[in-house]
Chains A and B, each alone.
Chain A
Amino acid sequence: MRNNLGSERQTAARAMPAALVLAALSLLFTPARAEDPAKPACEMPSDMLATEMVLPKAADEVKSSHRLDVTVVGSGSSTLAGPDGASAAYPARLEYYLGQKLSGITVHIATDLHMRQSAEDVAQGFGKLVKDGKPSLVIWQTGTVDALRSIDPDDFRGALGEGIAALKEAGADVVLMNPQYNPRMETVLSVNTYLDNIRVAAQEKDVPLFDRFSLMRQWSDAGDFDFSVTTRSLTQARSVHDCLGRALADFVVAAAHLGPEQPQDSSKDSNKDSNKDSNKDPNKDQK
């Protein structure tokens, strides 16, 4: 209650050594990273690739016309740089893995990428998108641009809700996909706010959420990938996108109940070991 007014000035001087001490101590705890660039495998945790939501229109299309038309709507993180970047990015990998899983079904994945556009801007074109491309499923990768531009969280959630409604009304199922995991991201952006709003929007509108963020964090925790490396090489990026494509294929097959065996068992081929706290909700303030 009654402090010395002068003492605040010391805050700055004292905080710096404090951080240094913390940094020095932390060095003691630096573990060796399990980094094996040749290892292509990444965990496919079954609990993260299962969903209670369903994709009836996609399931219908597969059953009635033996086709599956998917459009991936996204931003920069849905593609890769380089001349063959697009073919190594997760939408193309998804097409490959879905084709493998669904024998006798023609799988076609289109992409509709909007660099640097917020969810609200992207959602403007949804009616036309479904009308023109006639996808039975739209995978909407979103959140990164909005987080980078600090779009108001309520506006963001509103845009998600309207976008999902527009897609459904135009006749497509929807899967939401959240931003990529990056260990440094949280230090500069309130990523959690956007993750929460995506989760809430998915829950409110009854659409499955492909939790790319948690999945990648799990790969990072398990040592499959070290996302903090600074590199110009595309090796890791390609490998991550391959894993994402495979995980997404599992997810779509599970949600649309397209598995070869019992529909309930569709995620059977996934790995058994699963991380316990990966599904936990980081922050529900926005609910």
Chain B
Amino acid sequence: MSKSMSIDAAAMQAGKRVAAPALAFPVAVGERELRLDLFRGLALWLIFIDHLPTSLLTWFTIRNYGFSDATEIFIFISGYTGAFVYARAMADRGVIIASARIFKRVWQIYAAHILLFTAYLAEISYVATRFENPLYAEEMNVLDFFKQPDVTIIQALLLKFRPVNMDVLPLYIVLMAFLPLILLLMRRKPDFTLLLSVGLYIATWEFDLTLPAYPDGYWYFNPFAWQLLFVFGAWCALGGAVRMSRLMSSKITLGVAAVYLFFSFCVTLTWYIPKLDFLMPLWLEGIIYPIDKTDLDILRFAHFLALAVLTVYFVPRGSPFLQSKWLRPMIVCGQNSLEIFCIGVFLAFAGHFIMAEYNGGAWMHFFITVAGIFIMWATAWTITWYKGVVEKSGSKQSSANADLVGGGP
């Protein structure tokens, strides 16, 4: 136990030492935390699969085996890498420059969101004209919101209109927009910042804090609650993980995590096999249901923690397994997360469209999923390749390099 802790600590020390040179050669591969890239890449694939209609491959996504799903992984790692990159930028170049860079990033995510919204508009306009069938007289009203395009489009620009599958980016935008503030506090008082975050999370549950959505309801991912994962990720990146490493690798923690994962798996099983429902004691149902995704139910958060504890234990930093070429596709996807996330949402639109227009059954479904993942990989590979080329040709211009550092999370 203590061995793995010291390895982690040593690695972190090494990371700190190389921090300065890393700024000069930001894409140097050696000291990348490949685990973050790997699992973010995995999360992106899983989010893509979950956005497609249910199929055989859907059964490989983690939400079927426990309370949490890929969104938790994505938000946590985004908090982690965001803090890691921009805290260093704050230290090196000052709060203002680093914040400006974060806001530039926020703007990019916002632009990506609007781009996806446009794709959605195209899709829904197409679909609505194809509802021409007396059987679907009622469903044709799906275009009702076009009757007030002024309202709808403005609501979309305000991030309040939430088309299907487009819930994660608005959350990401809001969280990133608050990253400068989070980092400012976190660099001085990390534990206090985490405590504030927990406080906000509790207040969310206590006072029902929400963000309204259009035309009805609330944000699907409530930022007041989901910030906890993001801030927790940032806290881990800025030293929390090192301080927790003894706790994380203790036999008791591992045992508790394993038991909790098993418990969660059993509960999930009763959702899919209703015949097992009688095994669920009523009092337990009363306690745990509903498991609220909107407000990041504590059971989901705990499930993510348990997954993380076991993952960190079984896939230690620098594990040779991470160098396997079979994992490269996932890792490069994780290294270009915003692009790949957007392409994933876009491909999900396209996949839905193809499946609806050409009813090809399970094989078609399988093919679309695999093709989508392949496109995500190919795109990520191209971006990484292009970045390498740009970096080689422009490595002497330090201003360009500064941007390279900031582009990651």
Contact = CB atoms under 8 A, between A and B. Distances in A.
Contacts of A155: 216-217
A151 B404 contact: no
Interface stretch (A98-106, A164-172, A186-194, A250-258): A186-194
A139 B372 CA distance: 41
Interface residues on B, range: 35 or more
Contacts, number: 245
Given A8-B112, A11-B115, A187-B353, A284 B216 contact: no
A1 B409 contact: yes
Interface of A: 1-8, 10-12, 14-15, 18-19, 21-23, 25-27, 29-31, 33, 75-77, 80-82, 115-116, 144-145, 148-155, 180, 182-190, 192, 200, 203, 220-221, 226-234, 236-237, 240, 280-287
12 contacts: A3-B335, A4-B391, A5-B108, A6-B390, A8-B111, A26-B358, A26-B360, A27-B358, A81-B134, A187-B123, A237-B135, A286-B290
Contact of A281 (B124, B271, B277, B372): B271
A8 B213 CA distance: 27
Greatest chain A CB density within 10 A among B63, B135, B141, B405 is at B135
Interface of B: 26-27, 32-33, 36-37, 53-54, 63, 69, 81, 84-85, 104-105, 108, 111-112, 115, 120, 123-124, 127-139, 141-142, 144, 162-165, 213, 215-218, 268, 271-272, 274, 277, 289-291, 293-294, 335-336, 338-339, 342-343, 346-347, 349-361, 363-364, 367-368, 371-372, 375, 379, 382-383, 386-387, 390-391, 403-409
B52 to A, nearest CB: 9
A1 B162 contact: no
Given A3-B408, A18-B375, A22-B375, 15 more contacts: A1-B84, A2-B26, A2-B405, A4-B404, A6-B390, A6-B403, A18-B350, A26-B354, A31-B358, A76-B138, A144-B138, A150-B162, A186-B356, A187-B352, A237-B133
Nearest to B358: A30
A229 B343 contact: no
Contact of A5 (B104, B137, B162, B290): B104
B142 A188 contact: yes
Greatest chain B CB density within 10 A among A10, A26, A155, A186 is at A26
Contacts of A33: 359
Main secondary structure of the interface of B (DSSP, over half): helix
Contacts of A3: 335-336, 338, 383, 387, 404, 407-408
Contacts of B277: 203
B21 to A, nearest CB: 13
Contact of B37 (A1, A153, A285): A1
Contacts of B142: 148, 185, 188-189
Contacts of A188: 120, 123-124, 127-128, 142, 163-164
Contacts of B132: 230-232
